[in-house]
Amino acid sequence: MWSRILLAVCSTLLISCSSSLKNIKHDEALIKESGILLTRLISNYPFGISIEKATGEKFWLQKQGKNNKSTLIAVSVPSGKYSISEIGWKNKHAKFVDDKSTKFTIEKGKVNYICDLGVYFKLKGKDIFGGEFTPDLRFVLPINLMKDTLKEFKTKQQKLAEKYSFTYPLASNCVPSKNKNAQKLLYMLEN
């Protein structure tokens, strides 16, 4: 009992020490020394990904809604070196291994496509008291779906796409969309 309360308090403190980012508006100007991080969060359940700047500052990117399989993320962040550090869903969190494969750089004054993040959860039914079980995380995969993501960005954020140039600091473990694991994940998310 006490461990659950302690875990909830620690989770709340961790989240309160970081910023949750919102998509940049189509007519919004970038703050000096900032760039736009572009990605899509693809999943069958809402989740968040934290990115951590080399200075220790954390930012959360949130996927919205159960029914919408994909959420386009285009947020303004300070330029610099980052890593994908953590995933959070419902009342759970999991850290990523700190290695070169989760690191990327955001260039100032540019749209920086890092890759799309596909996450699959095994969803369970309701418990005997009618409450919802916490889904089990099964699969996390950074996928290079740049063509589709850029097309969606250019459609939804036409002014930003015309104003800022693009760069592609892909995370090194970002697999091509034709990869066997990427195909498996995309198939699981479609069904």
Beta pairing, strands 136-144 & 175-176: parallel
Query: pTM of this prediction?
Result: 0.82
77: which residues sit within 8 A by CB, 6+ positions away? 21, 34, 35, 36, 37, 51, 53, 59, 106
Q: Is the predicted pLDDT of residue 82 greater than 80, yes or no?
A: yes
Measured from the Cβ of residue 58, the count of other Cβ atoms closer than 10 Å reads: 17
Alpha carbon separation from 81 to 1, 57, 101, 138, 167 (Å, rounded): 40, 11, 13, 28, 14
Q: Is the predicted pLDDT of residue 67 greater than 70, yes or no?
A: no
pLDDT of residue 7: 35
Residue range 88-106: mean pLDDT, rounded: 84
pLDDT of residue 150: 94
Q: Which residues of 60-76 are buried (b: 16+ CB within 10 A; e: fewer)?
A: ebebeeeeebbbbbbbb
pLDDT of residue 108: 94
Give the Cα separation of 56 and 72 in Å (integer).
25
Retrieve residue 54's tokens.
């080399």
Closest CA to 162 of 111, 93, 115: 111
Q: What is the pLDDT of residues 2-59, one digit of tens each?
A: 333 333 333 433 443 556 677 777 677 788 899 999 999 999 999 999 999 999 999 9
pLDDT of residue 128: 54
Q: Which residue has the higher pLDDT, 120 or 21?
A: 120
Give the Cα separation of 173 and 61 in Å (integer).
19
Measured from the Cβ of residue 105, the count of other Cβ atoms closer than 10 Å reads: 14
H/E element, 189: helix 180-190
Give the Cα separation of 54 and 22 in Å (integer).
21
pLDDT of residue 6: 30
Measured from the Cβ of residue 178, the count of other Cβ atoms closer than 10 Å reads: 9
pLDDT of residue 31: 82
